[in-house]
Structure 1
Amino acid sequence: MAEAEIKGMDAQQLQTGIADAREELFKLRFQLRFGQLTDVSRFRKTRRKVARMLTELRDQQRKSGGGTD
């Protein structure tokens, strides 16, 4: 997912994307344990995708005044 796509998402889409990516990480862990995972770089890519979405969600919350700072 490109950074421009993430920036174009609203808060609900970001939360859904974060949940989906975390579920993907969960599945990747199982695949690794059972020896089915061939591309271990997907862990890093998925973790970074979650981080990007969380960062954008936090930025949106701060801009709308909903932050806890």
Structure 2
Amino acid sequence: MDVKELRGLSVEDLQGKLAGFREELFNLRFQHATAQLENTARLPQVKKTIARIFTLLKEKGKE
């Protein structure tokens, strides 16, 4: 997801997205461990998106 899209979301929506991306990361790691993962570039993308969400939650918490 793009940062511009994430900035427009509320805290509750960000937490929902965070849960979804964490679940996706778990599934990607599981697929990678069992040699079923086809798009290995997706792992770092999801990790960076999770980090972006954490950053935005921290920013919104300070407001």
With the length of structure 2 as denominator, give the TM-score of the two structures: 0.95
The structure that has the greater radius of gyration is: 1
1:3 and 1:33 mapped to 2: Cα distance? 29
Q: Partner of 2:19 in structure 1?
A: 19
Percent identity reads: 35
Q: Which amino acid aligns with 2:55?
A: T
Q: Partner of 2:44 in structure 1?
A: 44
Shift of 1:10: 0.4
Q: Which amino acid aligns with 2:46?
A: T
Shift of 1:34: 1.4
5 Å-filtered alignment, 1:1-69, equals 1-63=1-63
With the length of structure 1 as denominator, give the TM-score of the two structures: 0.87
Superimposed CA distance per residue, residues 15-52 of structure 1 (whole angstroms, 9 cap, x where no aligned partner): 01111101001000110111110111111000000000
Q: Which blocks of at least 5 consecutive residues in structure 2 are unaligned?
A: none
2:33 and 2:52 mapped to 1: Cα distance? 26
